[in-house]
Amino acid sequence: MSDDSQAAAGDSPRTAAARDDASTCLMESHHREENQTKPCEYDPNVNQDELIMAQEKQIAEEIKANTSMVGSLAGLGSLEEEYSNDPVYSSKVRTLLPKFSNVRRTRPDGNCFLRGFIFAYLEYCIHHRDELARFKKYLEGSKEELFDMGFPKFTTEDFHEMFMEVVSDLEGSGSVGRVEAVCNDAGTSDYLVVYLRLLISAHLQKNAEFFSFFIEGGRTVEEFCKQEVEPMYRECDHLHIVALTAAVGVGVRVMYLDRGEGAAIVSHDFPEDKEPIIHLLYRPGHYDILYKA
């Protein structure tokens, strides 16, 4: 779980106030770069919790206005240019070049892993019709499983119906352009993200005895799901990926771009015994889609 997610889940107003200066200055530094606002000054008469929430909302709105949910295909060289002044990252990007040719960026809004997964998987499915048929059959049965586990029927039905419509549409007129349109339509894309979150939650709770050992903070699996899985914009961590890939039966390889020693990039396959058909690039707090060379 990311550090930010842990803090947000456990903070009371008093705890949050203890970190107000650092958080407020961090957010205002973002706006100084864009808008040249005044330096951060602490005002004891201002509710710092409300100020932080307002600034977080403003940053989120800026990201929403300026970044596609799933971007256009770009050469991997664009990543090298992005890190031209960072010798550690640029050397690691160069190690990716023989294996991967392109990258497709996702919006950094907490849903990036799920948006990347949906796009890459649907794109794969339109070129592999047997996999699309398998996924459709899985989706058809998943709704009743969610009902059996107590998820609300009215809303779950809506999210499920949207996913089925998308898959059925791709059966008839599947193209990369169509996948791009679906994944960048706010109403459709968000419904798909929510349904994947429900599938993750269901898998975690169905296997609560196993996953309980990996949840911190003294929370139950159900509490973790309600706080960190089901709400929109909560970042996905290792548990989310394990649960989703196991539930859907899809192999994902994540390439981790970090500041670890050496130029080599660590990768991890989910599940470990399944050939990956989706490749994602992880940078701290964010996922993008990779394309093999």
Verify whether residue 112 is a known catalytic residue.
yes
Query: Catalytic residue among 11, 109, 190, 237, which?
Result: 109
Distance of CA 121 to the CA centre of its chain: 14
Query: Catalytic residue among 112, 125, 225, 236, which?
Result: 112
Verify whether residue 21 is a known catalytic residue.
no
160/152 Cα distance (integer angstroms): 12
User: Which one, of 62, 7, 52, lies nearest residue 28 by Cα?
Assistant: 52
Query: Catalytic residue among 160, 183, 286, 288, which?
Result: 286
Verify whether residue 286 is a known catalytic residue.
yes
The structure tokens listed for 101 are 């040719």
Contact 229, 240 (CB under 8 A): yes
Active site residues: 109, 112, 286
